[in-house]
Structure 1
Amino acid sequence: MVEKISKSQVLERIQFENYWWHNNSIEDDYNEMQRRLYFDIFKPMVLDRSVKRAVVLMGPRRVGKTVMLHHTIQELIEQGISARKIVFITVENPIYTNIGLEELFKYALEATGNQDAKDCYVFFDEIQYLKDWEVHLKTLVDSYRSTKFIVSGSAAAALKFKSNESGAGRFTDFLLPPLTFYEYIHINRLQHLMVESTLLWKGKEQVFHDTVNSQLLNEHFVKYINFGGYPEIIFSPQMQKNPGRYIKQDIVDKVLLRDLPSLYGIKDVQELNRLFTTICFNTANEFDYEELSRTSGVKKHLIKTYIEYLESAFLVKKISRVDQSGKRFKREVKFKMYLSNPSLYAALFTPLAITDEKRMGNLVETAIYAQWMHRDWFNPYYAHWGKGEVDMVGLDDGSLKPVWALEIKWSNRYVEKPNELKSLLAFCTKNNLSSALVTTIDSKVQQEYKGVQIQYVPCATYAYNVGKNTLDKK
């Protein structure tokens, strides 16, 4: 006779997950972890009870979503909220299979010994595993007006699509990305390496944070590229010795073999894996669908769909191309692909040394793009025409004309040889740009060449500043 999971077993599991009901504090393991800088932006959304909305926390695996939820619970307790008014449920736990959100909520109330739902805070972790979660959550928000619901999930784009489609006026989305280099410096308590300075950009003095030790900062930048996207791994030498085991198995494999197939009904997961591996090895390169099909062995008509799936899991980002005049192409034939987190490369292949210039160039470019990906209000482009290419281009929101250009180099040679920046200079001339930015290994100087003010900035400090400015604007 097949036994069913009993109600008492479900109640026991809920009590086990809600450690603070008995201790008035979250577990020490969570409390000892340093809070991400994004916490200060996320916390007010949870505390704001004036708006009757659920908060949807999205982001890839292992970036700290569950930890952030526990830090939020600790904050609520410290602000005087009764511990038994705070409920946490991990939806993906098999014991909750086939139990709807409202039924789970009622079980949780029973487990607390408090049947009153008024002024409760309810956290549902990894909600994407519940079919039609958005419909159930909307019903809860409408039915329990005095209860604050907070949910999390690892399939960012899929969650956002459903949130926008069904939760209009009921949900507030919050994306937690992999660590920025700025956060990496903060979480490692390395702020003493940075000092406020200025940078002449577009004819104006801009605040810019420089470093007092370029060599040490670059060592950490390379460590960030190899391991730094995931908070727990940067503090674990054991994980860094075998990133393939800890990152690939726990993050990549779960996403490719479980998350995406379950969300989208993908049947040939090995085919999806081949495509992702090809993109990962060639991060920062230009692709077209024909070439990707030939290289990965995946049929052309499936590649576009698979890329959308990989983007939904926040594993990759596709960047569109503009021509020498900054105009987008009506038909997208070529595009660039970047890992959303450069640390994925070390997980699938091998960590890179600071001297590995050939591969490091692509990973540095990927790392810098990763800092910009955290800005949901900005879409970067790259320019490519004939034999010319510029790594990153910013377009004006209104006119859609180029307003700035960036060339990403892991080298100091162009300070002495600006004449080799032919594509960048041609793009600036064509679009009447008086200045441009070029990254270096450790050189920060400015020079004028052929009517263009070229500002050279070290890659690490540039990445730090993009991350800091992003958080400041958020």
Structure 2
Amino acid sequence: MLIPKNELISVLQEFNPWWSGQVQADLPEWERTASQEIARWCEHQKSKRSLLLTGPRQVGKTTLFRQTIRNLLQSGIAPSQILYATFDHPLLKLAGMNKTIEAWEEIFPGTSDHPQFLFLDEVQFIPDWQVWLKHQVDFGKNRKIAITGSASPLRSGSSESGVGRWETIKLPTLTFREFLKLRQVEVPEMAEVSSLKQLIEHSPSDILQFQSGAKQLTPYFHDYLLRGGFPEPALEEDLQRCQRLLREDIVDKVLKRDMTALYGVRRIVEIEKIFLYLCYHDGGVLDISAISKELDGVKRHLLTDHLDLLEAAHLIYSLKPFGYGKEVLRGKSKVYLADAAIPGSILLYGQKLLEKPDRLGNAVETAFFKHVFTRYYHDQPTFSYWQSKGRKTYEVDLVAEIGERIVPFEVKYQDKLISDSDLKGLRLFMEEKSIDLGYVITRNAESLFITQPRSAKTGQYKEKLDAHIVGVPACLACYWLS
């Protein structure tokens, strides 16, 4: 279909108001932490690599692009050198990338003689966008290209073509610190902690200050677990409306629209069943055979494929059991949802989530995992969980491996103080793997502690390990990891 050039130009002018000297409307001053990474990419003029900003729907990818454009304009980049286009617009989707750029360069002849900044949104709607981007990076000159997508490019087999050609910024839902900034919450004064390991070095007076801070932050942390980290719903004062928006964005826009448009899923009811099951079992270890039977005979291969699609759409994280070789390949996956507030919103818990200890504990574990993932994914860690072998199973909720370093985390979000028996799995794992530092994520401010654990092996209970376990209230752990 031949698209009239004047109509294409008209759409681009609407998306690029700075071309005519206008200011972008309704653009927040507050920026997410990822904006600093994008700014560094913009400043690195010698690098030809493009930028891929990826993450779930409605987490602020477009806003980040628009804020970056504002910052470029303020730094002196000519308005004509900046193009923004979103390919979920029907006309631009039909025109494709080349025609869109040709229309821009027709408005401003000679732009290719100077550095160009292209911000291309929702590229997953363009067929073979990876091939186009590879060609641009290999042969384009004076052109910095940033793209967004709500679906993982790895689903399309593009990982090899992307190596060395683009860098990826993964944008999850808001961290706890970002949530507090967005809602303009005044944070208590505390000494800064750049890593949880630093807690060992802090003075008793600092620890008292942290405990006081935890008491003040806990109500806001619970609010974060209820509202979640999607910016628009998180700003809603009415919790029911907040959670309704979250349900609509997840169910209507992702499960019903994106799964059909991007992956050709036709049996939407099946994927909705699977997602609902995951909401009931957030942070749980999945037995594919058992789930297949429980979901009225959904075939195992379809179940596995749909889980892959949900991960590609950034709705879930999947972890394998700790280990190597066959024990990992044959092991059952553990799944976290993309945001701790999703299950409560889908299952209509509302404020009652805070009265359900097991559900609240699951939400805290999901939130904590997301913060660890967000903080360290650039280091390419391996995340897993651990279960002991034997008649009685002990577990470690999360194990992070970065190079040769192994760091275990156990989440115990409970009112009672943490006891040795609560840490049996963590102690066993640390002793078995000769690990000198582990963490337990707690609820109460008083559960901020550093202890030298005893052996968990039968007959050796009195022997202390050459190791430390650090207890950190969840609100502080998530705040410091943000």
TM-score normalised by the shorter chain: which range applies?
Answer: 0.7 to 0.9
Give the structure 2 partner of residue 422 of structure 1.
424
Aligned positions of 1:56-455 closer than 5 A: 56-110=52-106, 112-118=107-113, 119-158=115-154, 161-162=157-158, 164-190=159-185, 192-196=187-191, 201=197, 205=201, 210=210, 212-238=212-238, 240-297=239-296, 298-322=298-322, 329-350=327-348, 351-352=350-351, 353-374=353-374, 375-376=376-377, 377-385=380-388, 386=390, 387-395=393-401, 397-398=403-404, 403-415=406-418, 417-442=419-444, 443=446, 444-450=448-454, 451-452=464-465, 453-455=468-470
State the SS of the aligned residue for 2:100: helix
> Deviation string for 1:133-180 (max 9, x for gaps)?
111223334454012222111113547852x33234332222222111
The 3 A distance-change label for structure 1 pair 115 and 394 is closer
C-alpha distance in 1, partners of 2:371/2:175? 6
C-alpha distance in 1, partners of 2:266/2:421? 51
Alpha-carbon distance, 1:5 to partner: 4.8
Alpha-carbon distance, 1:342 to partner: 1.1
Does the CA contact (< 8 Å) of 1:180 and 1:229 recur in 2? Answer: yes
Does the CA contact (< 8 Å) of 1:128 and 1:159 recur in 2? Answer: no
Q: Which stretch of the first structure deviates more once superposed, 197-206 or 257-266?
A: 197-206
C-alpha distance in 2, partners of 1:124/1:59? 15
> Deviation string for 1:384-440 (max 9, x for gaps)?
124211112234634xxx73322201114243x323432222223323344432222
**Which structure shows the higher strand fraction?**
1
C-alpha distance in 2, partners of 1:12/1:202? 55
Give the structure 1 partner of residue 5 of structure 2.
7
- Aligned AA (1:90): T
Does the CA contact (< 8 Å) of 1:24 and 1:83 recur in 2? Answer: no
C-alpha distance in 2, partners of 1:334/1:36? 35
State the SS of the aligned residue for 1:319: strand
Does the CA contact (< 8 Å) of 1:284 and 1:337 recur in 2? Answer: yes
- Aligned AA (1:423): G
C-alpha distance in 2, partners of 1:456/1:281? 28
C-alpha distance in 1, partners of 2:131/2:292? 37
State the SS of the aligned residue for 1:26: coil
The 3 A distance-change label for structure 1 pair 106 and 406 is same
Alpha-carbon distance, 1:247 to partner: 1.5
State the SS of the aligned residue for 1:193: coil
C-alpha distance in 1, partners of 2:355/2:247? 24
Aligned positions of 1:462-473 closer than 5 A: 462-467=477-482
Does the CA contact (< 8 Å) of 2:55 and 2:151 recur in 1? Answer: yes
The 3 A distance-change label for structure 1 pair 16 and 75 is same
The 3 A distance-change label for structure 1 pair 220 and 367 is same
- When the two structures are superposed, what TM-score results if normalisation uses the length of structure 1? 0.87
- Aligned AA (1:390): V
Match of residue 40, structure 2, among 37, 44, 48: 44
C-alpha distance in 2, partners of 1:406/1:460? 15
The 3 A distance-change label for structure 1 pair 43 and 279 is same
Give the structure 2 partner of residue 470 of structure 1.
none
C-alpha distance in 1, partners of 2:172/2:8? 32
The 3 A distance-change label for structure 1 pair 33 and 271 is farther
The 3 A distance-change label for structure 1 pair 268 and 448 is same
Identity over aligned residues, as a percent? Answer: 26
Q: Extract unaligned runs of 5+ from structure 1.
A: 468-474
Q: Extract unaligned runs of 5+ from structure 2.
A: 455-463
C-alpha distance in 1, partners of 2:332/2:155? 28
- When the two structures are superposed, what TM-score results if normalisation uses the length of structure 2? 0.86
C-alpha distance in 1, partners of 2:201/2:215? 26
> Deviation string for 1:100-129 (max 9, x for gaps)?
31111011222x343532322121110110
Q: Which stretch of the first structure deviates more once superposed, 273-282 or 442-451?
A: 442-451
C-alpha distance in 1, partners of 2:474/2:211? 11
Alpha-carbon distance, 1:67 to partner: 0.2
State the SS of the aligned residue for 1:439: strand
State the SS of the aligned residue for 1:382: strand
Alpha-carbon distance, 1:441 to partner: 1.2
C-alpha distance in 1, partners of 2:453/2:394? 18
The 3 A distance-change label for structure 1 pair 190 and 203 is closer
The 3 A distance-change label for structure 1 pair 213 and 109 is same
State the SS of the aligned residue for 1:52: coil
C-alpha distance in 1, partners of 2:469/2:134? 52
Give the structure 1 partner of residue 458 of structure 2.
none
- Aligned AA (2:220): H
Match of residue 17, structure 1, among 5, 15, 18: 15
C-alpha distance in 2, partners of 1:289/1:373? 25
The 3 A distance-change label for structure 1 pair 423 and 130 is same
